[in-house]
Amino acid sequence: MKNKNIICFFLLTVPGLSVFASESDAGQLSCLLEPSKEINLASQVQGVVKRVKVERGGEVSKGQVVITLETGLETAMLNLAKAKVEFSKRKVERNKELIDTGILTAHEADEIQTEHTIFELEMIRAEKALQQKIIYSPENAIIVERLVSKGEYAGVEPLLKLAVLNPLHAQVVMKADYYGLIGKGQEVEIIAGSKSEQTYSGKVKIVDKIIDAASNTFGVIVEIPNPDFNLPAGLKCRIHYLNN
């Protein structure tokens, strides 16, 4: 009994470890920091890689160009479509007076205008085809793995693996006895790693609606802001549920 009292006193008095002593902490079976999103980035179209602008471990912003494919054919098709649009535009302008005065029949006027509209739509299609050869990052993320290099063929397989680390998610497994004591939006404190004494703030994002019968547990996801990437994914953690 004396040893147990010493251990309890230690948990309650040592700075940075007092958060472990609450009753809610006792229900945690595991806690692991994970990316809030993991993205296998692929191309909409097939082609040969022209340039890879990122490396493993690099940071990318949402909308940043990360890979471009060869665009020779698409560029030529776009230039052709633009030339057709310019030609049809001049044709419409040349025949405007004839159309306005009624010298041209309604059918002839409709053909000229329709031709111009079709060429404009073809140009838009050519622009879209060219844009599909440029691959952008869908999120602010970290490059986890680069799977292609210049000159390789881009098919249906992923080209890059990305991880979103801001925010992070803490995946917590709780004993079923604690179901109902933790709610969505509840504020928490987190300690990550076995040696760290620094706490971080977060909020409960998801509480599972189903208890796993085999293990008699349920899952909780805590969202943790991580704007400076001070916390890496993969660390074991401990969550202290604060009273709201």
d(CA 118, CA 122): 6
Among 14-23, 94-103, 120-129, which stretch is predicted with the lowest mean pLDDT? 14-23
**pLDDT greater than 50 at residue 154:** yes
Q: Could you tell me which CATH number the domain at 72-131 has?
A: 1.10.287
Cα–Cα distances (Å) from 235 to 24, 38, 40, 195, 232, in that order, read: 21, 16, 22, 11, 7
pLDDT, tens digit (0-9, with 9 covering 90-100), for 9-47: 333 333 333 333 344 466 888 999 999 999 999 999 999
Q: Where in the chain is the domain with CATH 2.40.30.170?
A: 15-37+165-241
3-state helix, strand, coil in the chain (%, to 5): 30, 35, 35
60 burial type by CB count under 10 A (0-12 exposed, 13-18 middle, 19+ buried): buried
The predicted pLDDT at position 28 comes to 86
The predicted pLDDT at position 1 comes to 42
pLDDT, tens digit (0-9, with 9 covering 90-100), for 198-230: 889 999 999 999 999 999 999 999 999 999 888
Q: Tell me what the pLDDT averaged over the chain comes to.
A: 86
How far is CA 133 from its chain centroid?
A: 20
Q: How confident is the model at residue 105 (pLDDT cuts 50, 70, 90)?
A: confident
The predicted pLDDT at position 2 comes to 41
On whether the CB atoms of residues 62 and 140 are closer than 8 A, the answer is yes
What the block records as the tokens of 168 is 């992070």
| pTM score above 0.85 | no
Read off the pLDDT of each residue in 84-112 and give the average, rounded to a whole number.
85
Q: Which residues contact 203 (CB under 8 A, 6 or more apart)?
A: 185, 186, 187, 188, 222, 223
More confident residue, 65 or 107: 65
**pLDDT greater than 80 at residue 94:** yes
The predicted pLDDT at position 192 comes to 87
Q: Where in the chain is the domain with CATH 1.10.287?
A: 72-131
Look up residue 63 and give its DSSP letter.
Answer: T
**pLDDT greater than 90 at residue 63:** yes
- One CATH from 1.10.3210.10, 3.40.50.2300, 3.90.600.10, 2.40.30.170 for 15-37+165-241: 2.40.30.170
Read off the pLDDT of each residue in 145-174 and give the average, rounded to a whole number.
95
Element housing 26 (H / E): none
